[in-house]
């Protein structure tokens, strides 16, 4: 008998970037859990093939193609979910693109494109989904069932040198996630972000080829279970959190903390007083880049068996 805490029977989910890689794996996993899917990607055969794959396995999926950065695409996704299935319960934002370059050689187009697809794309879908859930909650007089799973990246933690556009976009995704979690919790919305490591077409140049003869520890299929879990009833108490997920690793990040705090005796700081207070904190010469979190890089697993 299926544990209802983790089941998604009857739920309706939008998945963006569903044509391949992480989006495809997440959509397939949600469908296997019983969810009915609205799949988004740019027009082409890939996303239609994923819908066909889900249907062949006994699931339900419909396709709503379009540029995720367009306001009209967000409207169409919500309309498609409501017209096709009569409801929306889950939003998985995954669509992305890379235009890697050092900050001193990056073009305006390379910056704008990445911010548009990742950050604006997350906002557009979130805006329409949360407006719908807020309206429903007010009509019902109680919170609704609503889940948002956003896709960030460890790039925002590391300040990836060759990805200033991507790192900035993914930091923005986390901020958007926390703001959504705080502002929409009263309506039943649970918004969380994942930082996946996965070997996909988008990351192939960074992560190299799939290893021969062994299971790929960076397969997108390792990420999908966390998405399904956060989308499920069991995820009701998880809100505004950020996870790192890959292979056998699932880590919950702590919020930023205050490293040190000082107070001046006078009415305001002087440069000299600031140097006396802050200088002892920064003695590395040449200075390294601060405010980066490399603690995720050596993450190892803590093993839990089935049913633990």
Residue of 153, 160, 228, 232 marked catalytic: 153
Q: In this structure, what DSSP letter does residue 243 have?
A: E
Active-site residue 138, yes or no? no
Residue of 170, 187, 228, 232 marked catalytic: 170
Residue 149 backbone phi and psi in degrees, to 5: -120, 115
195-209 burial: b if 16+ Cβ within 10 Å, else e: bbbbbbebbeeeeee
Active-site residue 166, yes or no? yes
Residue of 137, 152, 166, 228 marked catalytic: 166
Strand runs labelled E in the chain: 12-16, 36-40, 60-63, 90-93, 146-151, 189-196, 242-246, 249-252
Contacts of 144 (CB under 8 A, 6+ apart): 133, 136, 137, 187, 188, 189
What is the CB neighbour count within 10 angstroms for residue 267? 5
How far is CA 170 from each of CA 30, 74, 93, 251, rounded to the nearest angstrom? 24, 20, 12, 17
User: In the block, which residue shows the tokens 């633990």?
Assistant: 308
Active-site residue 145, yes or no? no
* Residues with catalytic roles: 153, 166, 170
């Amino acid at each position: 008998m299926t544990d209802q805490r983790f089941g998604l029977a009857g739920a309706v989910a939008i998945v963006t970037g569903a044509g391949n890689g992480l989006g495809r794996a997440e959509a397939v996993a949600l469908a296997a859990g019983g969810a009915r899917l609205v799949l988004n990607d740019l027009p082409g055969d890939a996303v239609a093939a994923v819908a066909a794959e889900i249907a062949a396995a006994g699931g339900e999926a419909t396709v709503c193609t379009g540029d995720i950065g367009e306001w009209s695409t967000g409207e169409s996704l919500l309309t498609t979910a409501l017209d096709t299935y009569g409801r929306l319960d889950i939003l998985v934002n995954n669509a992305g693109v890379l235009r890697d370059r050092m900050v001193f050689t990056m073009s305006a187009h390379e910056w704008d494109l990445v911010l548009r697809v990742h950050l604006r794309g997350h906002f557009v879908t979130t805006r329409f989904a949360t407006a719908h859930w807020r309206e429903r909650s007010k009509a019902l007089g109680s919170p609704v069932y609503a889940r948002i799973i956003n896709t960030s990246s460890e790039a925002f933690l590391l300040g990836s040198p060759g990805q200033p556009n991507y790192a900035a976009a993914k930091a923005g995704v986390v901020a958007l996630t926390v703001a959504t979690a705080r502002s929409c919790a009263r309506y039943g919305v649970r918004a969380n972000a994942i930082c996946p490591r996965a070997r996909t077409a988008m990351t192939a140049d960074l992560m190299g080829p799939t290893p021969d003869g062994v299971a790929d520890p960076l397969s997108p299929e390792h990420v999908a279970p966390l998405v399904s879990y956060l989308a499920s009833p069991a995820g009701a108490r998880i809100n505004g959190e950020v996870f790192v997920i890959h292979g056998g690793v699932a880590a919950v990040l702590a919020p930023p903390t205050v490293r040190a705090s000082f107070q001046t005796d006078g009415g305001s700081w002087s440069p000299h007083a600031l140097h006396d207070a802050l200088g002892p904190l920064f003695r590395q010469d040449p200075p390294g880049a601060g405010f980066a979190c490399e603690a995720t890089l050596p993450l190892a697993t803590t093993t839990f068996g089935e049913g633990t």
